[in-house]
Amino acid sequence: MNRQIAGVRGVAALLPVDCAPWAAVEERLRALMEAYGFREIRLPIIERTELYARAVGEVTDIVEKEMYTFLDRNGDSLSLRPEGTAGCVRAGIEGGLFYNQTQRLWYQGAMFRHERPQKGRYRQFHQWGVEAYGMSGAAIEAELIALGARILRELGVKARLLVNSLGTPACRERYRDALVDYLKAHRDRLDEDSVRRLDRNPLRVLDSKNPAMIEILDAAPAIADHWSAESRTHFADLTAQLRTLGVAFEVAPRLVRGLDYYTHTVFEWVADETLAQATVAAGGRYDGLVTELGGAATAAVGFAIGMERLMGLVTRQPQTLGLDVYVMTPAALQGRALVLAEALRDQGVRVEVHLAAASAKSQGKRARDSGARCVVEAVDEEGVVILTAGATQGGTVSWAQAVARISEILGAKAKIDDE
């Protein structure tokens, strides 16, 4: 046998056993997107590296050490997308989606970050992202948060919602000074990354995942003390609307998030704070980003769900439609069975035919495992036997009558299910 070739570390296939629950959750998420008036946008997986340098920020974990960056054959520096927001804004500007319009968009797909693989942290992972453009008030933030809360609630995911405000760029300037003073006073206790960030992008120090830094960061000044009247009003408006909507939240004074262009609201859902991989979904307002990327000033707010982390927390699986019919057949009748299966599919019935050489016994086991509502066995040129369909047992019908009889049984079953 040839030597096996290993997959890439931190990059996993989803096997069929994983795909079924993923697909069920994705189907539910699509329905919820529609329920809130969001439309899908499909974004490229590669972008120019400069997009992420500018949008996510030079001094971030993502850009400094996590991107898959390469030169293509023309010598252009490209990167696999590490997140979706930058590409969404880039595509929205080029596609003319923003000027004097509102947009509610969602996307989903694989993202790539060269991180140390561990539970809940992979090099290829999936995000479900939701972005809203052209709405500057707290109401759209409240609605997005209500959508996130509904997703988690419906799927039986327990997570705390943390919210904070980064204020306006002017608030951040003032806060930055206070934070730098504090951090400089404790310089000897900062790790190497934090010392570097202290000069280049001090707010990022608060993002540190290093447990040794937690104590010192917990005692750091809070941005709330530097909010302008506008920021204060915006935040009060948001929290009042969340209360009216019955969405539980906690104010987290030191929550700052990934992008450099967040303004006002930031939020995240945290499932279990003992884990570094606790954040299942996160987002915020990023009014500065569209202009930063060359578009007209556009209010923007969004969040992304980490799908692997979400799937690890789901306790209430949405139901999906399974197989309707499983057809067992000896090899000699496979051709006939295929004709029957096609005729059933013409009626909208979902069918699998057993096409491997196998004993009736092992076919029976496979049929039971398939979860099909109706099991059909091809007997001879004359007829087929309907083995089980709910309470219905046995009954030989001719090939010619089979479609009508099976449809009838499934229809009756469907009516019972509907009641």
Question: Which residues are at the interface with ligand ATP (CB under 6 A)?
Answer: 83, 113, 115, 120-122, 125, 127, 258, 277, 279-282, 304, 306, 308-309
Closer residue to ligand ATP in complex, CB, 194/329: 194
* Closest separation in Å from C-beta 232 to ligand ATP: 25
Closer residue to ligand ATP in complex, CB, 304/375: 304
* Closest separation in Å from C-beta 312 to ligand ATP: 10
Closer residue to ligand ATP in complex, CB, 301/389: 301
Closer residue to ligand ATP in complex, CB, 111/376: 111
Encoded tokens for 289 = 């980003």
Closer residue to ligand ATP in complex, CB, 83/377: 83
Task: Report the C-alpha gap between 278 and 268 in whole angstroms.
Answer: 10
* Closest separation in Å from C-beta 105 to ligand ATP: 16
* Closest separation in Å from C-beta 20 to ligand ATP: 20
* Closest separation in Å from C-beta 109 to ligand ATP: 12
* Closest separation in Å from C-beta 127 to ligand ATP: 5
Residue nearest to ligand ATP (CB): 306
Closer residue to ligand ATP in complex, CB, 281/410: 281
